[in-house]
Chain A
Amino acid sequence: MKRGSTMTEGNALQARQIVKRFGGVPALKEVNFECRGGEVHALLGENGAGKSTLIRILTGAMPPDAGMMLMNGTRLQFRTPKEARQAGIGVVYQDFHLFPQMSVAECVYASSQNSLSKFGFLSRRAMRTQAATLLGEFGIDVDPARKVMDLDAAERKLIEIARALVRQPKYLFLDEPTSALEPRETHRLLDMIRRLRNHGTGVILVTHRLGEVVEVADRATVLRDGRLAGTIGRQEFSGQRLAAMIVGEQITAHVGPQHDPGPVRLSARDLVVRTGGAGIAMEAAEREIVAVIGLIGSGTSALLDQLAGVQPARAGTMRLNGAPYRPRSPGHAQRYGVGFVPQDRKGKGLIPLRSCAENIALPSLSRLGRAGLVQRRGMDDAAQQCQQTYNIRWQSARQPVVSLSGGNQQKVMLSRWIVKNTQVLVIQEPSQGVDIGARLQIHNKLISFAEAGGTVIFSSSDLDEVRSIAHRIYVMHAGSIVNEFDNRSAGGVASTTLTQAMAALAVPDSLESQ
């Protein structure tokens, strides 16, 4: 057996030469992985690269076909996830697994083996004290008596992690813990990860956000097509380097939009997105990409909804190309040339079981059809064209859109508005749940859409994304626009500037008014 230099480290969780096949298709090919105690180790790769399979094997959810696992030099063999837990391996999956009706304390201890009372009864008081201690230890500021359903996304994630921590795992897998979080909440979570590391826990962090990796990880292992693409240490980190390893070759640096915007296309005056919010004034020009950012509840999505006709405007006026613009519905907005891509792609964007071609053609049926009849040929041709320009990966334009990956689904959403010849694209979270390669492609296409004369207005919780494609950035808070940045000047807005602008908003209202 090949022995790497890492063998000398006694205190580590190791996977050696792991092989896994699904029905003959190899998912992992002789993958080596090692996480030391007291280390934050990022596990990276595109969707389908084998990350999830590796996690499942290491956490006992499935056995490997070949290869072995070691903890501190001792061989591990799990038959069930429970055995992995008992061996000191914890995992927090991407989707929430908490019980909404329970209190935080109950949830944290719900499935733990710690006997909490002398007679085998659950003692609420003991549970709360213990939970409070545990939460305090990791700087989680959540009242253990609160109900889980009253918590926000970040708090839930922290509680989930706390739940895994009850068993004091030596190694903890976090599967995209920040995917549902806003920037400020992400900071809280990264702080907690650092604290865990200082306690001596080995943290394996799976994420698509390379900024987090650079910020918090000590080493990173990249998987590509089921193979090990490499493991690099902190000193070699850069977003560029990691992205290149993930995609498999050097990607050209992304420098943001190079062209200048034209005359104003869409403008809004005195819009009200929530009761009590000040009137919003904003504009977006031809050839311009405008970002609207803000914490959850700040009104960014309500603003975009109004611009796209999803919600009728409560007050104020909008103008498009100089003429009054009063959309009553998304369909009505389309007739003005405004298309909408909602954040919840699967829930609100696509008709999952219908074909890719149909999903693309949906708003353009009248134009593509003839006399009210569906023209499959025209639909397929339009889809084929989109497939080429957007590089969408499907076997046939007639396969159900649900069978595509997140990135390809998002490209289908964008194609819809290209086929419709839309002037203004309103997009919520353009690259959420999309892997790095597809994300870059989507960014490039948005830029070329703007370059060709289109207008893009998007909201995003990903500040890197905002900095890399927006000409102009509006910052919203409590239903009003509170700040505006020009991102065109050399180097654009510094990321620290944006982060600080966002952090300032996170101050509770009560403090602000003092």
Chain B
Amino acid sequence: MSTSERKVAMAQERPTRRLASWISLDVLFVPIILVIAIVILSFASPYFLTGRNLAEVLLAVATLGIAAVGATFVIIDGDLDLSLGANVALSGVVTAVAMVVWFPGNWIAGMILGVLTGVAVGLVNGLLSTFLRVPAFITTLGTGVIAGGLAIYMTNGLTVSGLPDAFQAIATTPILGLQSLVWFMLLTFIVGAFVLHRTNFGLRTFATGGNREAAFLAGIPVTGIRIGNFMVAGFCGGFAGMLLTSRVQAGQPGISTTLTLYATAAVILGGTSILGGQGSVVRTFFGILLIGVVQNGLDLLRVDYSLQQVVVGAVFVLAAASEAIRRRR
């Protein structure tokens, strides 16, 4: 390297330091809000900060959390999965119907079919969104309606009961004071974080969401990555649906209409960019905790359920707005 080259390099623009400083604040934002919410609620209700109630909070958001891990992947990838809630319903119903009607008593086949149903929905979402070049929010809105309709059709709108007892234990066995469903959620978050942040697939997902055209030109199989992420979301939906069926001991076609909204809200609330390319599974975890804590708090304070919806909706809008503001800086 000649001295002139070195000199030239010295004269070039210095990187902005401000970027780094606000990112760290950005990372801590939701955890801080969470702590504040916990402090306020523990003063407002003596019952809030009991171990039993906190376990309750985790249990309440467990299926939502699993679905939200999937939502994190598609959103970072630059897409969106609005069929997630209906996918949970359909997979749950398939799980139940499979072990009650198709293969009576064979709960393992039911579990596998349930999860596979979720993956299949994800695959269809991926194929439609990539090959038809239709924006994902439209295709998944459509597949969501289809999946929800199928779930109701398969059960005539009724809950499916009479599930094997062994299957019930999958989600409800207590381990170290927490129900296994909660452990499944934590496991999903850990595996999800590993896949997203430690594998080439995860890095390619970030690249695809960060700049799809550039990722394509850099040789990343963008179509495959997107389909893969829809399938990850589908898997999470199927897994959540299967576990939900195990927990409530019935296939319920009508649940989860708001699950899509809540899962997406948790992702955005956590600070993952709705525009793709930025975010993390850990952030989603904090988003989920915040939703769980707020809802639990409102319950304890005996706020009317309809009003709770208003509060959660408002929090969602605020989260989206705060993201827009952060972006503008």
Contacts A353-B277, A363-B218: A48 and B11 contacting too (C-beta < 8 A)?
Answer: yes
- Tell me the complex Cα distance, A513–B290, Å: 72
The verdict on B132 contacting chain A, using a C-beta distance below 8 Å, is: no
The 7 closest A-B pairs by CB, nearest first: A437-B8, A331-B219, A405-B13, A351-B210, A403-B15, A334-B219, A365-B200
Q: Which of B19, B20, B215, B218 has the most C-beta atoms of chain A within 10 angstroms of its own C-beta?
A: B218
Contacts A354-B210, A373-B198, A374-B198: A348 and B217 contacting too (C-beta < 8 A)?
Answer: yes
The verdict on B306 contacting chain A, using a C-beta distance below 8 Å, is: no
- Tell me the complex Cα distance, A395–B14, Å: 9
The verdict on A51 contacting chain B, using a C-beta distance below 8 Å, is: no
Report the stretch among A116-124, A196-204, A213-221, A245-253 that lies at the interface.
A245-253
Contacts A366-B200, A391-B9: A48 and B14 contacting too (C-beta < 8 A)?
Answer: yes
Smallest beta-carbon distance B8→chain A, Å: 3
Report the stretch among B96-104, B154-162, B201-209 that lies at the interface.
B201-209
Smallest beta-carbon distance B17→chain A, Å: 8
Task: Closest A residue to B207 by CB, please name it.
Answer: A351
- Tell me the complex Cα distance, A326–B128, Å: 27
Task: Closest A residue to B20 by CB, please name it.
Answer: A399
Smallest beta-carbon distance B82→chain A, Å: 25
Q: Which of B2, B5, B12, B210 has the most C-beta atoms of chain A within 10 angstroms of its own C-beta?
A: B12
B204 near A351 with CB under 8 A, answer no
Task: Closest A residue to B219 by CB, please name it.
Answer: A331
B5 near A441 with CB under 8 A, answer yes
Smallest beta-carbon distance A409→chain B, Å: 10
The verdict on B186 contacting chain A, using a C-beta distance below 8 Å, is: no
Q: Which residues of B contact A (CB under 8 A)?
A: 1-16, 19-20, 197-204, 206-207, 210-211, 213-221, 277-278
Smallest beta-carbon distance A56→chain B, Å: 17
Q: Which residues of A contact B15 (CB under 8 A)?
A: 394-395, 399, 403-404
The verdict on A372 contacting chain B, using a C-beta distance below 8 Å, is: yes
Q: Which residues of B contact A437 (CB under 8 A)?
A: 4-5, 7-9, 11-12
Q: Which residues of B contact A330 (CB under 8 A)?
A: 216-219
Q: Which residues of A contact B8 (CB under 8 A)?
A: 46, 247, 391, 437-438, 440-441
Selected contact of A372 from candidates B199, B211, B216, B217, CB within 8 Å: B199
Sample of 11 more A-B contacts, CB < 8 Å, known A330-B219, A351-B277, A374-B202:
A46-B11, A48-B11, A48-B13, A331-B221, A347-B213, A351-B215, A391-B5, A393-B12, A403-B15, A435-B12, A441-B8
Q: Which residues of A contact B1 (CB under 8 A)?
A: 388, 391
- 8 A Cβ contacts from A306-347 to B: 310, 329-331, 333-334, 340, 342, 347
Q: Which residues of A contact B6 (CB under 8 A)?
A: 391
- Tell me the complex Cα distance, A400–B16, Å: 10
Contact flags A33-61 to B (C-beta < 8 A → 1, else 0): 00000000000001111000000000000
The verdict on A358 contacting chain B, using a C-beta distance below 8 Å, is: yes
The verdict on A429 contacting chain B, using a C-beta distance below 8 Å, is: no
Q: Which residues of A contact B4 (CB under 8 A)?
A: 247, 249-252, 437
Sample (8) of A-B pairs whose CB atoms are under 8 Å apart: A249-B4, A333-B219, A347-B214, A350-B214, A354-B207, A365-B204, A374-B199, A399-B20
Smallest beta-carbon distance B45→chain A, Å: 41
Q: Which residues of A contact B207 (CB under 8 A)?
A: 351, 354, 358, 362
Smallest beta-carbon distance A225→chain B, Å: 6
Give chain B's interface secondary structure class. Answer: helix
Q: Which residues of A contact B12 (CB under 8 A)?
A: 46-48, 393, 405, 407-408, 435, 437-438
Contacts A251-B4, A416-B218: A372 and B200 contacting too (C-beta < 8 A)?
Answer: yes
Contact flags A425-445 to B (C-beta < 8 A → 1, else 0): 000000000010110110000
A369 near B214 with CB under 8 A, answer no
Q: Which residues of A contact B198 (CB under 8 A)?
A: 373-374
The verdict on A349 contacting chain B, using a C-beta distance below 8 Å, is: yes
- Tell me the complex Cα distance, A447–B213, Å: 28
The verdict on A224 contacting chain B, using a C-beta distance below 8 Å, is: yes
- Tell me the complex Cα distance, A391–B7, Å: 10
Q: Which residues of A contact B5 (CB under 8 A)?
A: 391, 437, 441
- Tell me the complex Cα distance, A348–B211, Å: 7
Q: Which residues of B contact A333 (CB under 8 A)?
A: 219
Q: Which residues of A contact B11 (CB under 8 A)?
A: 46, 48-49, 224-225, 247-248, 437
B13 near A47 with CB under 8 A, answer yes
The verdict on A279 contacting chain B, using a C-beta distance below 8 Å, is: no
Contact flags A443-467 to B (C-beta < 8 A → 1, else 0): 0000000000000000000000000
The verdict on A492 contacting chain B, using a C-beta distance below 8 Å, is: no
Q: Which residues of B contact A374 (CB under 8 A)?
A: 197-200, 202-203
- Tell me the complex Cα distance, A373–B9, Å: 34
Q: Which residues of B contact A46 (CB under 8 A)?
A: 8, 11-12
- 8 A Cβ contacts from A449-505 to B: none
- Tell me the complex Cα distance, A249–B198, Å: 46
Smallest beta-carbon distance A305→chain B, Å: 10
The verdict on A81 contacting chain B, using a C-beta distance below 8 Å, is: no
Task: Closest A residue to B203 by CB, please name it.
Answer: A374
The verdict on A352 contacting chain B, using a C-beta distance below 8 Å, is: yes
Contacts A374-B203, A393-B9, A394-B15: A363 and B214 contacting too (C-beta < 8 A)?
Answer: no
B219 near A373 with CB under 8 A, answer no
Q: Which residues of B contact A49 (CB under 8 A)?
A: 11
A248 near B7 with CB under 8 A, answer yes
Q: Which residues of B contact A393 (CB under 8 A)?
A: 9-10, 12-13
Smallest beta-carbon distance B48→chain A, Å: 38
Q: Which residues of A contact B216 (CB under 8 A)?
A: 329-331
- Tell me the complex Cα distance, A329–B203, Å: 20
Selected contact of A310 from candidates B3, B13, B202, B217, CB within 8 Å: B217
B220 near A331 with CB under 8 A, answer yes
- Tell me the complex Cα distance, A26–B217, Å: 40
Smallest beta-carbon distance A330→chain B, Å: 5
Q: Which residues of B contact A250 (CB under 8 A)?
A: 4
Smallest beta-carbon distance A196→chain B, Å: 31
Smallest beta-carbon distance A455→chain B, Å: 18
- 8 A Cβ contacts from A373-417 to B: 373-374, 388, 391-395, 399-400, 403-405, 407-408, 416
Smallest beta-carbon distance A442→chain B, Å: 11
Contact flags A209-250 to B (C-beta < 8 A → 1, else 0): 000000000000000110000000000000000000001111
- Tell me the complex Cα distance, A289–B200, Å: 33
B213 near A249 with CB under 8 A, answer no
Selected contact of B7 from candidates A249, A252, A352, CB within 8 Å: A249
- Tell me the complex Cα distance, A408–B3, Å: 18
Q: Which of B3, B5, B197, B221 has the most C-beta atoms of chain A within 10 angstroms of its own C-beta?
A: B5
- Tell me the complex Cα distance, A442–B210, Å: 26
- Tell me the complex Cα distance, A362–B277, Å: 14
Q: Which residues of A contact B203 (CB under 8 A)?
A: 358, 362, 365, 374
Q: Which residues of B contact A331 (CB under 8 A)?
A: 216, 219-221
Smallest beta-carbon distance A391→chain B, Å: 5
B16 near A403 with CB under 8 A, answer yes
Contacts A363-B218, A393-B9, A403-B19: A351 and B200 contacting too (C-beta < 8 A)?
Answer: no
- Tell me the complex Cα distance, A239–B263, Å: 60
- 8 A Cβ contacts from A13-27 to B: none
Q: Which residues of A contact B215 (CB under 8 A)?
A: 351, 362
Contact flags A355-366 to B (C-beta < 8 A → 1, else 0): 000100011011
